[in-house]
Chains A and B, each alone.
Chain A
Amino acid sequence: MLDVLDVFNIDLIRAGIRLATPILLAALAGAICNRAGILNLALEGKMLMGAFLGIYITYKVGNTYLGIILALILGGLVGGIFALFYLKYEVNLILLALAFNLLALEVTVYFMRILFGNVGSWTDPSINRLPEINFLGSETNEGFLSIFNNHNLIVYISWALVVFVYIILFKTPLGRHVRSIGENQEAAETLGVNVARVQVVVLVVAGMLCALAGAFLSVGHMTMFTRNISNGRGWRGVAAAIFGFQHPVGVFFASLFFGTADALSLRIQSVSDYPPSLVKLIPQFSTIFALTIVGLRAKFLVNLARIKFRRNLDNKNK
């Protein structure tokens, strides 16, 4: 039988943080899009694209940071193309996203095969993984603080981005515009908010965030690219955005929850002999569970509002 202490230890939390990072970045992208009234379901495809571009450019340029930055720019470009299609040509965004997801899945494998031969996954020894940053100076992973130590740059950037997105969304005029569009697009338009411009900005930023998430997968976490490397993380990002109620801090904890569920499933696979496919169900069920909670909460709030409304009516009638 499985020892509980074997599973729940500091390594689990560290792995959880590591696995939560791509979800967190995608979820932040999803959250700002949702705030701006766009349901962005192409996170998965954009992530895959970012993963491929990140590793390919790193391979060509020979510098991991440069590779990631170029992948970021290209990710932003993809976001811009999305914005162009959506705003100028009024393409249905859901169809666009689904087509893009399929396209990203196939095109990345296509290019991998024509560039590097017929292989299922590709890696090259010349590619350097992002180094871990050790600011505590200790070698061992002991103690509470070490949870936060020894991650690579993107992990810390993703945390900084949580704060950054929070400040932008809630403390600046741009954030106010974004939120107003999400609440009521017509009203925002009437008040003189340039809806199109804000949505372009949001889509470009979302594209960059997803590219970063993808680059984290391909050059930050592992140094390889395989077919469908993102493996549903983009979708979990969409779910995390909803579970975190589109709020950066909420999104942070939601992603951490999903990341830990991922880590838990990996951990149980390595220390026990439960069937791997059953253990892999943990993240999936945690997602459904999270979505159900959100649904129930929304329903509860509606009912609460209804009860209050009734009570007010009754009071007036008396």
Chain B
Amino acid sequence: MAITCGLILASILLLAADKSPIEAISSIFRDAFTCSSFDRCNIFTTFALATPLMLTGLSAVVAFRSGIFSIGQEGQMMLGAIVAAYIGHWVPLPDNIHSIVISIGAIIVGGLYGWFAGWLKIRLGINEIISTIILSEIAILLLLYLVNFPMRGDRGATAYSPKIDETAMLKVFAPGSKFGTGFVIAVFAVILVYFYLWKSGKGYEQRMSGEAPRFAFFGGIKSEKAALRGMFISGGLAGLAGAIEVMGVHYRINQGFNLMNLGFDGLSVAILGLVHPLGVFIVGIFLAGIRMGAQLGLQFTLGIPRELGGTIIGFMILFVAAEKLFQKIFDIDLRSKFRRKKDA
């Protein structure tokens, strides 16, 4: 429902630009979910883009489920990426172990950053939305600083850190895209988060302290501790997303690393996926498709600004938020039908 409405409103915007909406939207899907040949396969690229989206989406899910509306995935991701770029280049380690060490490092650093936002919320009552937004900006600026000065690779026009060692790179399955081990890790994370939240005692504690803090309190759950644990996991997942972006896609951090807004898209993924890990899995791929399609299909082929992709996502969130609106409209319809039946 939300998806249809989002597409309809986007079509109106397209008409405003004198472009055929049907052509545009079909080109989004054509360019995102098809495969012309094995090495030039758009769907693999979509999967590669879906990887960080799924992880940041999961991060948001875990945070929301502990009752903290954290939108700091962006910043946690940046820190994860910084850690990955640092360990990847400056700490020599053998194959495989290298990427594992990076992942653990990124999870810890991102997790601590998430934990800090949670701590500010729980100890000082600072609104988590504001604090995480600002913490994200701080992390982005830190990344820009590091990339421009201490970690700068060579004197190029745009600043970037040196390439990470080959031992730290993740395997790529399909040549020509970045679809590789990262995606497998993301899918694995989806399953793990599902089991953590719904099948484990700790996850139960966390969900309870998020949904019904009083109940959790009287039930003897240390809700503050559970929420902070949730925030640590949330930050860790976002940090892992950043690390995978570095290890599997870019192999370095560069000046435009934050411009892709992957962290904020993760938030959208979580909301559209109805704050559930499995929803995140599906919506992550879907949103990645829209982003890819908007870039490849609209921008390159039809010359429509790729911001339309983001606009569609924005409208969809709006309509998910406006769930009640549909219920009301639907409700009225049902009632009038009911009345008609009565009259008959």
- Give the B-binding residues of A (Cβ under 8 A): 39, 41, 85, 89-92, 94-96, 98-100, 102-103, 105-107, 109-110, 113-114, 118, 232, 235, 238-239, 242, 275, 277-278, 280-281, 284-285, 287-288, 291-292, 294-296, 298-299
Are the CB atoms of A110 and B13 closer together than 8 Å? yes
Are the CB atoms of A107 and B13 closer together than 8 Å? yes
Are the CB atoms of A232 and B133 closer together than 8 Å? yes
A95-B320, A102-B317 are contacts. A281–B141 as well, Cβ < 8 Å?
yes
Are the CB atoms of A110 and B321 closer together than 8 Å? no
Q: Is B90 an interface residue (CB 8 A)?
A: no
Q: Is B29 an interface residue (CB 8 A)?
A: no
B213 to chain A, nearest CB (A): 17
In the bound complex, CA of A280 to CA of B138 (Å): 9
Partner of B324, one of A89, A107, A232, A298: A89
Jot down 28 A-B pairs with beta carbons below 8 A, ordered by A. A85-B322, A85-B325, A89-B325, A91-B323, A92-B321, A95-B271, A95-B317, A95-B321, A99-B314, A102-B313, A102-B317, A103-B314, A106-B307, A110-B311, A232-B133, A277-B148, A280-B141, A281-B138, A288-B131, A288-B138, A292-B120, A292-B124, A292-B126, A295-B120, A295-B125, A298-B124, A298-B125, A299-B124
Q: Is B256 an interface residue (CB 8 A)?
A: no
Are the CB atoms of A91 and B125 closer together than 8 Å? no
Q: Is B42 an interface residue (CB 8 A)?
A: no
| With A91-B323, A105-B310 already in contact, 7 other A-B pairs whose C-beta atoms are closer than 8 Å | A85-B322, A102-B317, A103-B315, A110-B307, A238-B127, A285-B138, A291-B131
Are the CB atoms of B264 and A102 closer together than 8 Å? yes
| Chain B residues with CB under 8 A of A242 | 127, 130
Interface of A: prevailing SS: helix
Within 8 A of A (CB), among B257-278: 264, 267-268, 271
Within 8 A of A (CB), among B129-158: 129-131, 133-135, 137-138, 141-142, 144-145, 148-149
Which among B307, B308, B317 has the greatest number of chain A C-beta atoms within 10 A?
A: B307
Within 8 A of A (CB), among B295-344: 304-305, 307-308, 310-311, 313-315, 317-318, 320-325, 328
| Chain B residues with CB under 8 A of A41 | 129
Q: Is B17 an interface residue (CB 8 A)?
A: yes
Are the CB atoms of B308 and A110 closer together than 8 Å? yes
Are the CB atoms of A284 and B134 closer together than 8 Å? yes
Which among B71, B133, B268, B313 has the greatest number of chain A C-beta atoms within 10 A?
A: B133
Within 8 A of A (CB), among B61-101: 69, 71
Which among B13, B305, B315 has the greatest number of chain A C-beta atoms within 10 A?
A: B305
Q: Is B1 an interface residue (CB 8 A)?
A: no
| Chain A residues with CB under 8 A of B271 | 95, 98
B15 to chain A, nearest CB (A): 11
In the bound complex, CA of A232 to CA of B315 (Å): 21
In the bound complex, CA of A291 to CA of B126 (Å): 6
Q: Which residue of B lies closest to A96 (CB)?
A: B321
In the bound complex, CA of A95 to CA of B268 (Å): 10
Partner of A98, one of B16, B71, B149, B315: B71
Q: Which residue of A lies closest to B121 (CB)?
A: A295
Q: Which residue of A lies closest to B127 (CB)?
A: A242
Are the CB atoms of A277 and B315 closer together than 8 Å? no
Are the CB atoms of A284 and B317 closer together than 8 Å? no
Are the CB atoms of A91 and B311 closer together than 8 Å? no
| Chain A residues with CB under 8 A of B317 | 95, 98-99, 102
In the bound complex, CA of A186 to CA of B135 (Å): 35
Are the CB atoms of A91 and B124 closer together than 8 Å? no
A274 to chain B, nearest CB (A): 10
In the bound complex, CA of A261 to CA of B304 (Å): 39
| Chain B residues with CB under 8 A of A89 | 322, 324-325, 328
Chain B, residues 226-244, CB within 8 Å of chain A (1/0): the string is 0000000000000000000
In the bound complex, CA of A164 to CA of B314 (Å): 35
| Chain A residues with CB under 8 A of B123 | 295, 299
Partner of B305, one of A103, A113, A296, A298: A113
Are the CB atoms of B145 and A278 closer together than 8 Å? yes
B65 to chain A, nearest CB (A): 15
In the bound complex, CA of A318 to CA of B239 (Å): 57
Q: Which residue of A lies closest to B320 (CB)?
A: A95
In the bound complex, CA of A105 to CA of B265 (Å): 13
| Chain B residues with CB under 8 A of A103 | 311, 314-315, 318
In the bound complex, CA of A276 to CA of B141 (Å): 9
Are the CB atoms of B322 and A91 closer together than 8 Å? yes
In the bound complex, CA of A102 to CA of B287 (Å): 14
| Chain A residues with CB under 8 A of B268 | 102
In the bound complex, CA of A16 to CA of B135 (Å): 23
Are the CB atoms of B311 and A106 closer together than 8 Å? yes
Partner of A239, one of B134, B307, B310: B134
Q: Which residue of A lies closest to B326 (CB)?
A: A89
Partner of B125, one of A98, A102, A114, A299: A299
